[in-house]
Amino acid sequence: MGQAIEIINLDIRGMTCAGCVNSVEKALGGVRGVDLAEVNFAMNRASVHYDSEITNPSSLESAVEAAGFEAQRLRDTDDAPEPSEQSEQEYLKLCSKLWLALGFSIPLVLLAMGPMLGIHLPFWISSEVQPLRYGLIQLVLTLPVLWAGRDFYSKGFSTFLHRNPNMDTLVAMGTAAAVGFSLWNMFGEKLDAGGFYFETAAVIIALILLGKSLEAKSRSRASEAISSLLKLRPKEAILVNEDKESSITIDLVHPGDVLRIRPGSIVPADGIVVEGSSFVDESMLTGEPVPVEKTAGKSGACGAKVTGGTLNTSGVLTIRVRRVGGESTLARIIRLVENTQLTKTPLARMADQVAGVFVPVVLVIAALTGVWWWFSGAPANEILSYTVAVLVIACPCALGLATPIAIMVGTGIGAQHGILFQNAQALEAAHRLDILILDKTGTLTEGHPQVTQILVVEGQKSAEVLQFAAAVEQGSEHPLGRAVVAEAKKQKLELPEILEFEAQTGYGVKAVCTGHMASEHSTVFVGNPALMRAENIFIEVPETLETQIPPGITPIFVAIDGKLAGAICLADEARQESSEAVRKFLDLGLEVVMLTGDRQSSAQAVAAKTGISKIHAGVLPEDKSKIVMKYQSKGFRVGMIGDGVNDAPALAQADVGIAMGSGTDVAMETADMVLMKNDLRHVADALRLSRATLQNIRQNLFWAFGYNVVGIPIAAGLLVPFGGPALHPMIAAGAMALSSVSVVSNALRLRGFSFSGGDEIVKNPIKKEC
């Protein structure tokens, strides 16, 4: 029996640093049946791949709780709380603790350090006159601060007992040592007011709470993009049944239902317009700022598609629902973004591995620091100062946040502009590409070819050739086939009945039709020259027919009953933005290659207009992936841009497969990157976003590693013998608090990323697929 692998997302509570991430991943990975467990510190989420025949969600939750954390299963997208709201709630809780800590830390510092600050204390609390009373007052002021930081102790010592020490452990041990040493000097054999370090413990807790508060606020801002998508989820809809309207919750909407959407209302589900006309604001999904016209189809044609979560701005629309709930475009976009943010790049895995051993190493360094200064003959208060400084300056949080927070911001703003990454690996791979291979039809060109001319052999009529070609192409989804059908409808031709239909991928189509001359049934082939040669039809072709086809035109040949009847010439204009997009690719240092099944002259015409110098023409669909492999075998990292359907093998073979075209079903499954807008310039934006995100990650990691590598030795006092400064524990705590904030703040700079793709395209052509 094979594995029944399922994926579950868990909301993890109680993580405070990257060490916690490693602990949770170990706990989940240790459960029998778990195939993969990835934990995101920035989102407080875990994604677990497990065999449902061996284990279950309850066992996974129990494993997390046994490691000292809390876990709650997220059953679907609607269950998931908005990340920004979670961070905002955490921020408010931390603020209440911070104000409590500051309220008692400030008078405690004034009391303890008053003489050094030139403040004369009353004789009845003077350290010289009343040392015990002086110490007791400090202790009383310290207790509320310790209560404000109680989570450091409960979590820190709990994880220590579970042999998974984390940042809380370092803070708890450092402050506990300061308080313990103070109590020893206050109640020991010899009362020593100079040995009170209550204010040190209090200020450390207050500063770390300050840093945590700022970090939570910054994380809230970092997750605003995904939260804005979650807020688009509709709650209600207006159901139309027998011309009567009724308001229902979105849970009661099913495919096939007819809904009415008034101006200013959110489109409740994916559907097709069956009545009315309006302009719909799709900026929240595609980044397109100009509302797009949506109308019902005319003369039996299908209406325009609308997407759930978009905003109806003007007229009243009536739609027939196609997809709802988890199958809707919005839900799939949210899943893609969340999955990308949950997956890890190799850089993130490396950082997590370091963080996994970071805290134990710091504990050893702190112990060695104390021993070294003890053997050096330093007094007890100096030994304590150096040891506590080492404990509190170390910051595993910065390591844990460096990668996920940058990915969260980068993928979030990408999603807001219609750029979706399948996973974090795709985001990382996109910045290293050497070559971009572009499909021609629908990518470089408009994808809406039009018939320009019909050539016929002697004895044939152009209308009859078009009739039979259109009849056969009715069952085809190819843009050329749809153009032939559209031309026949335009000329109001009556199409023969189709008895059989067979599509031959990369060649054309074949069908049996009725009504040609004396023959009751006629076999009709419509396709490229390769199809004609395969059927031995070109043996009787006049040499002059192919020479009549103008340069830059795409022909499809029509054969009836084994004899060539004619050729239909079609033109597909290059997109206006294609040449600009190609120039941007070249500016990024990429080599651009065109790949097409069309003939050489048609490919060269488009290449000349777009600025592409390298062409592979006449390529069959099954050979496209071989060309990708050919470039890869030479050591190039290849990106492939296509429509996600006909190019699926090539998209899968490429290092990064990029699908154009409003997020088709196949594209979202096969491509590494999906663009919701048919605009090549946004591919350049996506590649620049990938580079900016990876650069931001490297900056974060450099700061996180550099801070700890430099800060810990200074805190240990290694520079003191050489005349260097000694670092007070309070300064060490402040540096530690600011380190993680600086990492998050640097990641937030990605929110200012400039998207240069065009936004002037307004019209949305009516789709032909219902």
Which residues have CB under 8 Å from 583's CB, separation 6+?
A: 611
Residue 160 to residue 647: CA distance in whole angstroms: 53
Helix, coil or strand: residue 616 = strand
Average pLDDT rounded to a whole number, residues 444-464: 86
Strands (E), 250-366: 258-261, 270-281, 292-295, 305-306, 311-312, 317-323
Dihedrals φ, ψ of 390, to 5°? -60, -45
- The answer on pLDDT for 634 being more than 90 is yes
What is the reported pLDDT for 764?
36
On the question of pLDDT at 291 being above 90, the answer is no
* Six token digits for residue 142: 């310290």
Residue with tokens 């997009």: 581
What pLDDT score does 307 carry? Answer: 86
pLDDT at 655: 93
- Is the per-residue pLDDT at 515 higher than 70? no
Taking residues 164-170, report their average pLDDT.
81
How many CB atoms within 10 Å of residue 53? 13
Question: In this structure, how many other beta carbons lie within 10 angstroms of the beta carbon of residue 46?
Answer: 26
Structure tokens at 732: 């060490």
Residue 766 pLDDT > 50: no
118, two tokens: 């030139």
CB 13 within 8 A of CB 151: no
Length of the chain in terms of residues written: 770
Contact call for residues 553 and 572 (beta carbons, < 8 A): no
Evaluate if residue 299 carries a pLDDT over 70: no
Task: Tell me the pLDDT tens digit for each residue of 226-235.
Answer: 777 777 778 8
Q: What is the pLDDT of residue 450?
A: 87
Per residue in 45-102, pLDDT (tens digit) is 888 989 888 888 899 999 988 887 888 887 654 455 566 667 778 888 889 999 999 9
768 pLDDT more than 50: no
The 3-class secondary structure across 705-716, one letter per residue, is HHHHHHHHHHHC
Mean local confidence (pLDDT), 681-700: 92
Question: 377: alpha, beta or left, given left = phi > 0 and alpha = psi -120 to 50?
Answer: left
> Which pLDDT band holds residue 301 (cuts at 50, 70, 90)?
low
124 pLDDT band (50/70/90 cuts)? Answer: low
Burial track 669-700 (b if 16+ CB lie within 10 A, e otherwise)? ebbbbbbbbbbbbbbbbbbbbbebbbebbebb
Q: Which of 1-15, 468-482, 522-536, 577-591: highest mean pLDDT?
A: 577-591
pLDDT of residue 691: 94
The pLDDT assigned to 115 comes to: 60
Nearest residue to 564 (alpha-carbon basis) of 545, 585, 583? 545
pLDDT at 227 (0 to 100): 73
Report residue 583's pLDDT band, with 50, 70 and 90 as the boundaries: very high
- Per DSSP, what are the bridge partners of residue 547? none
Instruction: Please report which confidence band the pLDDT of residue 688 belongs to, taking 50, 70 and 90 as the band edges.
Output: very high
CA–CA dist 370, 607 (Å, integer): 71
* Residues 476-488 as b or e (16 or more Cβ within 10 Å = b): bebbbbbbbbbbb
> Using CA atoms in the order 225, 227, 230, 232, what is the torsion angle rounded to 10 degrees?
-70
303-320 residue pLDDT tens: 888 888 888 888 889 999
Q: Please state at what angle helix 18-29 crosses helix 57-66, rounded to 10 degrees.
A: 130
Q: What is the pLDDT of residue 770?
A: 38
Rounded mean pLDDT of the chain? Answer: 82
**Can 679 be counted among the known catalytic residues?**
no
Residue 19 has pLDDT above 90, yes or no: no
Range with the lowest mean pLDDT among 416-425, 467-476, 663-672?
663-672
First-residue to last-residue Cα distance in the chain: 40
pLDDT on residue 663:
43
539: number of Cβ within 10 Å: 11
Decide if pLDDT at 3 tops 80: no
Which of 151, 270, 439, 647 is catalytic? The answer is 439
Confidence bin at 1 (pLDDT 50/70/90):
very low
DSSP 501-541: EEEETTTEEEEEEEEETTEEEEEEEEE-HHHHHHTT-GGG-
How confident is the model over 503-512, as a mean pLDDT? Answer: 82
> Would you say residue 727 has pLDDT above 80?
yes
The burial class, CB within 10 Å (0-12 / 13-18 / 19+), for 75 is exposed
Shortest CA distance to 689 belongs to which of 39, 225, 233?
Answer: 225
- The CA-based angle 207-212-217, given to 5 degrees, is 130
User: What mean pLDDT do residues 164-190 have?
Assistant: 82
Among all chains, which residue has been given the structure tokens 């990650």?
Answer: 697
Of the chain, the percentage scoring pLDDT greater than 70 comes to 88
Structure confidence at residue 83 (pLDDT): 64
pLDDT of residue 158: 81
As a whole number of angstroms, the distance between CA 578 and CA 362 comes to 55
Q: Which residues pair with 13 in a beta bridge?
A: 70
**What pTM was estimated for this model as a whole?**
0.78
pLDDT at 272: 92
Strand segments, DSSP code E, in 552-655 are 554-560, 563-571, 591-595, 614-616, 638-642
Structure confidence at residue 628 as a pLDDT band (50, 70, 90): very high
Q: Which amino acid is at 527?
A: G
Residue-level pLDDT at 645: 55
At residue 293, φ and ψ (nearest 5 deg) are -70, 135
Bridge partners for 248 per DSSP: 237
Residue 220, pLDDT above cutoff 80: no
Percent of the chain at pLDDT > 90 equals 15
Find out whether 398 and 707 touch, Cβ atoms under 8 Å.
yes
CA dist 380 and 500 (Å) reads: 95
